[in-house]
Structure 1
Amino acid sequence: MHVLVLGAGVIGLTTAYTLAREGHEVTLLDAEPAVARGASAANGGQLSYSYVAPFAGPGVPWKVPGWLMDPDGPLRFRPELDPHQWGWIWQFLRACNAATAAETTARLLRLAYLSRDLTQEVAARGVAEFGFAHAGKLVLQPDAAAMEGAKRQMALQAKLGSEQVALDRDACVALEPSLARIAHRIAGGIHTPGEDAGDCALFCEGLAAWLARSNHKVAIRLGLRARQIIRAEGRIRGVVTDAGVIEADAVVVCLGLGARELLRPLGQKVPIYPLKGYSLTLPVARDDAAPHVSVTDSASKVVYARLGSHLRVAGMADLVGVDPRLHEKRLSTLIRQAREAFPEAGDWDGPLRPWTGMRPYTPTGLPLIGRSPAAPNLYLNTGHGGLGWTLAMGSAAVLAARLAGRAPPIPTDGFDPAAA
């Protein structure tokens, strides 16, 4: 079967890789001149399989006012005259309850554990060199109340297969000595030894290179924008691009934010909205002054991941529409927070490789994976929010199973695009 995959970020590339290995002829299409130019370019670097609890949690609505009033807070909101923005917010608020959050967490954990196994398999096979490290993850808590809440979440996830341990302040510093400078603001932390880290952009480039040199029938066509999906007699016939029509037996849409506009004429609802994030990457100057364990500061919502000889710092969630501009004040906040945490990790006055990107979130946090109701040979694999890097390989396996008409490797309740 000839499958046309739209989007060459981590979701599209893992989909193309998985389908090619199953024997399909694959054409991978992207409007950018290189792979991983969108949300996959410089994300947080953490493969956080046990940290997939949705943003739409039961306590979030009560925290939002405080975040918005804090100029350095993790959330920024710019209201727009956009019905889609307000509709998304309404659906998000409806999902902010304990029952929905627990159900979503269980579903995402199943997908994340599948993805963990498949990502580690790719790393072991040497398909791509991407600075993969079995680093573990430590989530820092600022006070006793936050620590108790984290322990409750840990207990819930333990029933679902997560292996985590609660550490006090001294144990956190013993595990990651570079935290000594900020030990006074740590009440404790949750350590997950099984988490990984890696450079998502390098992973994407490595997969693309592997596909290009493999014996599989794969064509990677970059710099071509998908303009329209052609449907005739109830089936998808192909896609109109800048270079004409590309015909295919099936089409898989892995476009993130771009999926909404492309699928609208076909009647497929795609409840995705961007949450803008920021990152910076700097060379590590002192090995002992930068964390080796992946660290998340739960108070500031900033993550730190060691990527070989560099440190990746990422954070922020700006609900401001599609705005690709690098907001200097937000970036300055991220730099200041990172510098205060790890002042001697690198040259904070030197080149920091700043980046901002649009993460495609659904209101519940569940991605859309499977057949579209718009046509029997149209499929979606999109809406992974900030978890695209973590969930990519598992999502590709689920999608490939759906396309082949076989049972997926895990239960997929909640991922069906028809329910969007």
Structure 2
Amino acid sequence: MEIIVLGAGVIGLTTAYYLNASGHHVTVVDRRSQVGLETSYANGAQLSYSYVAPLAGPGVLSKIPGWLMRHDSPMRFRPSADPALWRWCFQFLRACTRQRSLQSTRHLLALSFLSRSLMHKLVDNEPLLDFDYARSGKLVMHRDAKAFASALGLLEFQRTLGCEQLPLDREACVRIEPALESIRHEIAGGIYTASEDTADCYRFCLSLEKLLRGRGVVFEFSADVSALKHAPGGRVEAWAGARRLPGEQIVVALGCGSTKLLRPAGIDVPVYPLKGYSLTVPIRSGGIAPRISVTDFARKVVYARLDGRMRVAGMADLAGYSNALNRRRLDTLRLESEAVFPRAGDYAAADEWAGSRPATPGGMPIVGSTPIKNLWLNVGQGALGFTLATGCAQLLDDLIAQRPTAFDCSMFNLSAHP
């Protein structure tokens, strides 16, 4: 079939990869001048297959008032008159139950384990360009003893679902990652997972583009898809300005841009941007930077080594669709980084970035069909886009081909989202 994939981030590109491998003629369309320039560009660089529990959970509600009142909080909210914002917030609050959280975690782990298997297969078997990929392992570091105790309870639950994780005391955390020595006294404990990876998502996108071009996939850049117009037979056509894009099937993988495009066609997806920030810090010669992936649980900041660089990412701002840099938020991120890894690199020379994560209220991506027979969705991965990309793409390819999927994925369909 002729299939158009709208979006050239990591979700759109992995979708194109599996569709092409199934023999379809694929065209990837994006409004930017090249691949990976939006959410995929400078994300946290962690492939966190065992850490997919949704943000919406029973422990979050009590923290929200404090978060909203502090300028340096992990999550911030800027009220607006946008009805979509208030609808998203209401659905988020409804999802903050223990039952919903555990159920979502179970489904997301099945998807992430599929993604891990597919990513490893892709890396092992395809001639990819270097994208700083490493099977680095990950340490989630806890500063609060109560939070660490709660993490131990979740560890036991995740073990029943196939996760292999180790609880570590303070000394063991520093032994496994000596760069944490400077904050040894602040560590209550940690959870180490050897199976986690790190990589540069943008470079991965560039590598996939080169691979796909060599296999006949067509790329159209600087093409802003402005409308999905209804066509005979219960179908739609994608239009970029006055030009109709040819294709039998259409896959929307536009992240936060999906909502605006889909709504006039009668498709309402509960996706709203959670704005995050990152720094890419050059590591000094002899610098004491982490070798493994580290998450500071209390601060909600992640650290990943990308060869001679350290990626620092965090925060979640419900602040509309602007990706403008917020100096106060970036300064907070820099101060947090310098406090944890003071001798890692040249913070003054760090590249700064902000991007919007396309989040659903309950943390579950939307993958599958729509009421329109030739329109498909692969959106709403939130902060887990890189982690879940290969699994979501493979599921969608199977659904389009009407093949059995690796597991029951009906919970990711649009109809399963409120």
Shared fold per TM-score greater than 0.5: yes
Runs of 4+ in 1 over 4 A off after TM superposition: none
Structure-2 separation of matches of 1:282 and 1:419: 41
- How much has 1:289 moved relative to structure 2? 0.5
Tell me the residue number matched to 1:398. 395
Structure-2 separation of matches of 1:7 and 1:254: 5
Please, what TM-score do these two structures have when normalized by structure 1? Answer: 0.97
Tell me the residue number matched to 2:225. 226
Tell me the residue number matched to 1:340. 339
Q: Give the conservation status (yes or no) of the 8 Å contact 2:287–2:345.
A: no
Counting only pairs closer than 5 Å after superposition, residues 18-417 of structure 1 correspond to structure 2 as: 18-125=18-125, 126-214=127-215, 217-242=216-241, 244-287=243-286, 289-349=288-348, 351-373=349-371, 375-417=372-414
Which stretch has the larger CA shift, 325-334 or 122-131? Answer: 122-131
Q: Give the conservation status (yes or no) of the 8 Å contact 2:17–2:212.
A: yes
How many residues were matched structurally?
Answer: 416
Structure-2 separation of matches of 1:403 and 1:358: 28
Which stretch has the larger CA shift, 62-71 or 219-228? Answer: 62-71
Structure-2 separation of matches of 1:22 and 1:308: 34
Amino acid at match of 2:177: E
- How much has 1:410 moved relative to structure 2? 1.9
SS at match of 2:32: coil
Coordinate RMSD, CA, aligned: 1.1
Amino acid at match of 2:202: A
Q: Give the conservation status (yes or no) of the 8 Å contact 1:286–1:344.
A: no
Structure-2 separation of matches of 1:81 and 1:68: 18
Gaps of 5+ in 1: none
Amino acid at match of 1:19: L
Q: Give the conservation status (yes or no) of the 8 Å contact 1:229–1:236.
A: no
- How much has 1:160 moved relative to structure 2? 0.6
* 1:356-399 deviation line (CA, Å, top 9, x unaligned): 001000001001000011x1111000010000000000000000
Counting only pairs closer than 5 Å after superposition, residues 6-25 of structure 1 correspond to structure 2 as: 6-25=6-25
Q: Give the conservation status (yes or no) of the 8 Å contact 1:236–1:251.
A: no
Amino acid at match of 1:95: A
SS at match of 1:60: coil
Structure-1 separation of matches of 2:137 and 2:23: 35
Structure-2 separation of matches of 1:44 and 1:265: 33
Structure-2 separation of matches of 1:235 and 1:406: 23
Structure-1 separation of matches of 2:406 and 2:152: 30
- How much has 1:73 moved relative to structure 2? 1.1
- How much has 1:419 moved relative to structure 2? 3.2
Which stretch has the larger CA shift, 224-233 or 364-373? Answer: 224-233
Q: Give the conservation status (yes or no) of the 8 Å contact 1:253–1:259.
A: yes
SS at match of 2:281: strand
Which stretch has the larger CA shift, 361-370 or 67-76? Answer: 67-76
Amino acid at match of 1:383: G
Which stretch has the larger CA shift, 275-284 or 69-78? Answer: 69-78
Identity of aligned residues (%): 47
SS at match of 1:61: coil
Q: Give the conservation status (yes or no) of the 8 Å contact 1:8–1:35.
A: yes
Structure-1 separation of matches of 2:389 and 2:225: 22
SS at match of 1:170: helix
* 1:67-115 deviation line (CA, Å, top 9, x unaligned): 1222211111100011111010000000000000000000000000000
- How much has 1:239 moved relative to structure 2? 1.1
- How much has 1:286 moved relative to structure 2? 4.2
User: 1:173–1:286: structure 2 CA closer, same or farther, 3 Å change rule?
Assistant: farther
Please, what TM-score do these two structures have when normalized by structure 2? Answer: 0.98
